Chain A
Amino acid sequence: MSSTPAAMAGASAPALPGPDRRQPKKKAVWRRRRLVLLMMSPWILGFTTFFAYPLVMNVYLSLTHYDLINPPRWIGFANYQYAFTNDPNLWPAIKNTLWIIAVGVPLQVLFAFGIAMMLTRAKAGVGFFRTVFYLPALVPPVAATLGFVYIFNPGIGPVNTILGHLGITGPLWFNDPAWAKPSLVLLSLWGIGTFMIVFLASILDVPKHLYESAELDGAGPFQRMRWVTLPNISPVILFSVVLGVIYGLQYFTQAFVAASIAAGNASQAGAASSLELGYPQGSTLFYPVLLYYHGFKYFNMGYASALAILLLIVSFAITFVIVRNSRRWVHYGGAIR
């Protein structure tokens, strides 16, 4: 982060006496401000229209009853009260979301780290493996989910067929309330490529001499990983944990598509549009799914806004806690970041 001396000469040069000198300087400062403002203008416009304004509106709407047709009616904290005392779906939705974060994120990070470690040690075919592990991360989530629901289809899907050949009776996967979330975790593990690439790059960035000196001190492979690799890449691990948690909080596409496809699959007879919240039996009802139904299927805009405010608070809190606690275990080398 070096400075830009020439550009700032106008602003930072010591003030010289004489009015002739000051006038152009002032002008330059203004020109400079105008330039910054001009360059920042798309963001300023976008931020106020598509972020600040809706955020404020959200707070207001959450205190009203609003169905998009009649004007919003002020009802105070009734939405929040309903959420915490009466809504039968809120706690299941929160629990499911916490589950997918608490189980999914550590597994994703561990899995990606494990693959990356093995790839750094691999002698042959690194490029091939890297491509194979990264590719599924690019598959559009809707397509990936459709594929998985078919592959894990209890009756005709290849997974249970193969398990059957091995003498194992496979579970009902996306159609079983106990297995639906684990199935979604499997789907997320399939798309681990992005984390894997990031880990791989940062592991390869660890200075070689650290390993050598550790080896001289008699550290085995496991100890080298624990005391050299891990501390050196801990900022990247933190980054992926935070990212995983943020994704977990907005987990929608896979859950929504899997539920609607698997539900349609179960009731093959006809119109599957009698949508059940979080099929099967509410096990894939995640918080964003609940919000979607309230806001855009039932058009309880006020209540959906209240749910959004709660999500905002929780997102802030979780991100804050993770970043705060991370100081204990994240090691930022000597470099300034």
Chain B
Amino acid sequence: MSESVAAPAPIVRRQAPAAVRRKRLLIAVADHSILIGIAICFLAPIVFIALTSLMTDQQALTPKMWPSPFHWRNFVEVFEQAPLWRWILNTLMYAGLATLGVLVSGIPVAYALSKLRWRGRDAVFLVVLVTLMLPPQVTVVPLYVMWAKLGHAIGFEFVGSLWPLIIPAWLGDAFTIFLLRQFFLTIPDEYLDAARVDGCSEFRILTTVVMRLAKPAIVAVALFSVLYTFNDFFLPLLYTGENSSNWPVSVGLSQYRNLHQVQWNLTMAATLVVMAPVIILFFLAQKAFVEGVTLTGVKG
């Protein structure tokens, strides 16, 4: 008797009444079945694209959904029929140079906008936000004219190449600046002050303290930049539309069907080839992606 009193009575959570439990279970089942339904709808397009990319061109013209036989050669033919490698190379050049550019030019600007105090800083940041919000169409006509004229003047065809997209990336990209500034703000000033007291110059603080602490944000920005350049269509179409040897993948893919009428199987194979790198990149860097998206949304 005395023993049982001494032992601390375990806290037993009162079970919810049967009716409540049944209701909860039903809601959970309903939730999950809706989620599964939507998940199927979300996966279906990719599955259908993959299935069609394995059909023969005859079969791709019928409503049949399952490939028989599996025509794996499509993925070889895709590379034979279109200069897909060339487009991929162009995209890689664009993505690589532009991403390097937005980082090199964007990091110091973001630092000046978040960790240095100077008059007019907030006004400048507002201007950065405005340039971020306005559609690119607003400045695209004079820019096109500018590149065309500049190319004429120095004898280099900017129009027809990807350089009109790469060069501006080296001169401060608004999205990069915005995102990095938001992250830099979360870095406690005490770290920076400690470095300053030790006689560290602002540039060294930036390259050692801040950049090390902001690694996730920098990775996220680089990912977004690669993704953006990979997906970019309007401006590449504008500048390289007439010069197929400089097409990036996005423009090439959009023209693919015009090059190969009716061959849905090959078109879908090409589509899958273009999707693959992004999906692989996502699975390699899933955490950085999600963190980056959350950073833009919640802290904005």
Contact = CB atoms under 8 A, between A and B. Distances in A.
A253 B234 contact: yes
Given A3-B189, A143-B274, A122 B250 contact: no
A51 interface: yes
12 contacts: A4-B189, A45-B172, A50-B168, A54-B146, A61-B145, A122-B28, A135-B42, A141-B231, A142-B254, A144-B45, A150-B48, A202-B298
A140 B87 CA distance: 14
Contacts of A213: none
B234 A42 contact: no
Interface in A264-314: 264-265, 268, 270, 272-273, 288, 291-292, 295-296, 301, 304-305, 308-309, 311-312
Nearest to B104: A42
Contacts of B171: 42-43, 45-46, 49-50
B297 A43 contact: no
B241 interface: yes
Given A135-B279, A246-B133, A260-B254, 17 more contacts: A5-B193, A7-B196, A40-B109, A40-B113, A43-B172, A46-B172, A50-B171, A53-B142, A134-B290, A140-B249, A158-B48, A201-B294, A239-B300, A250-B135, A261-B257, A291-B137, A292-B238
B32 interface: yes
Given A122-B31, A190-B42, A202-B297, A319 B133 contact: yes
A268 B189 contact: no
B112 A36 contact: yes
Contacts of B296: 198
B53 to A, nearest CB: 10
B197 interface: yes
Interface in B134-157: 134-146, 148
A68 B148 contact: yes
A104 to B, nearest CB: 16
A179 interface: no
B2 interface: no
Interface in B52-89: 52, 60-63, 65
Interface in A90-143: 115, 118-119, 121-125, 128-136, 138-143
Contacts of B42: 132-133, 135-136, 190
A37 B278 CA distance: 38
Interface string A3-40: 11111100000000000000000000000110110111
A312 B202 CA distance: 38
Interface stretch (B8-16, B213-221, B264-272): B264-272
Given A133-B42, A261-B257, A155 B32 contact: no
Interface string B33-44: 011001100111
Interface of A: 1-8, 32-33, 35-36, 38-40, 42-47, 49-51, 53-55, 57-58, 61, 66, 68, 115, 118-119, 121-125, 128-136, 138-144, 146-148, 150-151, 153, 155-158, 160-161, 164, 190, 194, 197-198, 201-202, 205, 236, 239-240, 242, 246, 249-250, 252-253, 256-257, 260-261, 264-265, 268, 270, 272-273, 288, 291-292, 295-296, 301, 304-305, 308-309, 311-312, 315-316, 319
Task: Give chain B's interface secondary structure class.
Answer: helix
B116 A138 contact: no
Contacts of B241: 296
A132 B193 contact: no
A146 B257 contact: yes
Q: Which range contains the number of B residues in contact with the other chain? A: 35 or more
B131 A47 contact: yes
B135 A311 contact: yes
A295 B172 contact: no
Contact of A51 (B48, B131, B237): B131
B227 A133 contact: no
Contacts of A194: 293, 297
Contacts of A316: 134
Given A118-B35, A124-B32, A161-B65, A140 B230 contact: yes
B145 A57 contact: yes
B275 A158 contact: no
B117 A264 contact: no
A295 B244 CA distance: 20
Nearest to B107: A39
A42 B133 contact: no
B134 A315 contact: yes
A32 B254 CA distance: 50
Contacts of A39: 108-109, 111-112, 116, 202
